[in-house]
Structure 1
Amino acid sequence: MEPIVVEVIRGTIVEARHVVHAVAVRDARVEVAFGDPQLVTFMRSSAKPLQALPVVRAVPALDDEEVALMCASHLAVPEQVAVVRRILSDAPAGEDELECGPDPTPIEHNCSGKHAGFLALCRARGWPSSGYRLAEHPCQQAMLSEIAGAAEIEPETVPTAIDGCGVLTFALALERAAHAFSRLPTLEGGERVVAAIRANPQLLRGPVATDVLLITSLDGWVAKGGAEGLLCAASPDGLGVCLKVEDGSFRALAPAAAHVLARLGFAADALGGFELANSRGERIGELRVAQ
């Protein structure tokens, strides 16, 4: 099947087009695909719920907000930063140990929850915290093993690179990413991660983020977006979905995800009306899937 094309309409003119590849997988079988299900891309922040698994297994005392914040790409609002500080305090670890870089400060970096979780894992396992972001550190080796295990491939076959926050990011075919996400609820610690995210979706990002809207509109689902136009999601009954926008645009994700979910028989109206507005709040166009 051809890729999804999301058109950006201003007035009556198509001003831009975004090409989206998508796949839905159940029991390692492709149920529906748009474009290339074997397209390889980096999971970026979509990997965070999987990266939280070694942490919740090693630190079972983490509360739901802490687990959800480890999976977040947060906006550094006070209630989100407060949870990061709690993860660090419980580890215990200091803000000066965060290696995500300033944005504008390390604790306000949108990946600080994941990094705080990595420090908690280092404390629990007796690993040095210094350099926990580096590929050779036991923390990142554990993350590589976790991602490969979830995707059911060998770790040495997973290409890696450096993510925006300084840790490893892992490349998978879209079909393998969807498969890994489909297994999240059944992996050790996965039920805990899913429950925490679903109980605290507001900690993931912000109220209009596509992953948050999907979680709050579909009963039992979990989802996480990633940089460069990526979205992974899973249903409670073992369906995994992965979407990738070729040009990395986030604005195409919501209409494309709604299109895929509708094809799978799910109503996703809450993902948005896909209208475009200007700075005055006036409707000036829309996003739509080309027919």
Structure 2
Amino acid sequence: MTNNDFPAHAPLAVQTRGELVESVHYGSLIALKNDGGTLLERGEPAARMYPRSALKPLMAVAMLRAGLELPTEQLALAAASHSGATAHQETAAKILANAGLAPEHLGNSTDLPYGVAEREAWLRAGHGPTQLAQNCSGKHAALLATCVKNGWPLETYLHADHPLAALIRDTVAELTGEAITAVSTDGCGTEVFGLTLTGMARAFSRMATAAPGTPERRVADAMRAHPEMVAGHGRDVTTLMEAVPGLLAKDGFEGIQLVALADGSAVALKISDGGDRARMPAAVPALLALGVDPALLAPFNNLPVFGGGRPVGELRGLPTTN
């Protein structure tokens, strides 16, 4: 790989300390209007990247198309990167139990709970890494339940030649409007596809505005009805969905953030170095440009930077005026 292969990222957020800019966060971003046209873009949103866990809602759509039926709370967890709270783990276990399965059937990696408070409580209780505690356990439980529904093999559900894997690839290609040209393996063991931010924004827009009762709309509505399942207490994705009516949001490792509004306008971004702290502040100026009430977005931008226990700077997204 040469420098010519690197995406042409642009500054999306800055952290100040005193009078100086202490750090600059680069990345790429696109905001789509509700008619699908581009409102603004930064960096190179047409470059291929791995959406990581932001793919989970699209995967959940594929599962519903394959006949999976879940209560809305469980469906939201199927699209989640959950914090590993007791409610999250118990809900994942219910998905398995209702399909006649047990946690031993899970094929995802083991981990501690993702949420800080949840992880500390888990460790204080003397627990170690498990598959149920890992943030993707809801998705994997739903994948297995889909296999049971269709009589597909369980042992190979993560293999690229499995019928469910083929359905997921086709669904992702349809919703994003992009051919699948790059495939790798996500941290939990499922396939992850190289897509553009433009394609992912398009997919979230389609889900947010799909006709009621369709698999796309059912996943979006489940996530919006149960934002606490999509991430967890204190997580910015959950808090944002609770704050803005009709908003659909999903984050992903390596600095990915996807947001769609009820009218179908959407934002997709990636922080270039994969860092997490600038992900939400970088999205705020684009959401403001799409007309979201500034008061609702205030908790997600201009975040205080402390020195000696008092605010001495801030982390903020950069203005998006073209």
* TM-score by shorter chain over 0.5: yes
Instruction: Compute the displacement of 1:219 (Å).
Output: 1.3
Are the counterparts in 1 of residues 46 and 196 from structure 2 also a CA contact under 8 Å? yes
Q: Secondary structure at the match of 2:273?
A: coil
Instruction: Compute the displacement of 1:145 (Å).
Output: 0.9
Are the counterparts in 1 of residues 68 and 149 from structure 2 also a CA contact under 8 Å? no
1:80 to 88, 92, 117: 88
Percentage identity across aligned positions? 33
2:99 to 82, 91, 110: 91
Are the counterparts in 1 of residues 36 and 265 from structure 2 also a CA contact under 8 Å? no
RMSD across aligned positions (CA): 2.1
1:132 is aligned to: 157
Q: Give the direction of change, closer, same or farther, for the CA distance of 1:182–1:290 in structure 2 (3 Å limit).
A: closer
1: CA distance, partners of 2:316 / 2:155: 47
Instruction: Compute the displacement of 1:238 (Å).
Output: 1.7
Aligned residues: 288
2:190 is aligned to: 167
2:3 is aligned to: none
2:30 is aligned to: 23
Instruction: Compute the displacement of 1:58 (Å).
Output: 3.8
Query: What is the one-letter code of the residue matched to 1:183?
Result: R
**Counterparts in 2 of 1:1-291, with a 5 A limit?**
3-25=10-32, 26-59=34-67, 61-103=69-111, 104-154=129-179, 157-185=180-208, 186=210, 188-267=214-293, 268-277=297-306, 282-290=310-318
Are the counterparts in 2 of residues 180 and 240 from structure 1 also a CA contact under 8 Å? no
1: CA distance, partners of 2:80 / 2:251: 9
Instruction: Compute the displacement of 1:207 (Å).
Output: 3.3
2: CA distance, partners of 1:23 / 1:150: 17
Query: What is the one-letter code of the residue matched to 2:305?
Result: L
Q: Give the direction of change, closer, same or farther, for the CA distance of 1:290–1:150 in structure 2 (3 Å limit).
A: closer
Are the counterparts in 2 of residues 132 and 139 from structure 1 also a CA contact under 8 Å? yes
More displaced stretch, 2-11 vs 50-59? 2-11
Q: Secondary structure at the match of 1:65?
A: helix
Instruction: Compute the displacement of 1:206 (Å).
Output: 2.6
Are the counterparts in 1 of residues 247 and 259 from structure 2 also a CA contact under 8 Å? yes
- Superposition TM-score, scaled by structure 1 size: 0.91
Identify unmatched segments of 5+ residues in structure 1. Answer: none
1: CA distance, partners of 2:24 / 2:201: 24
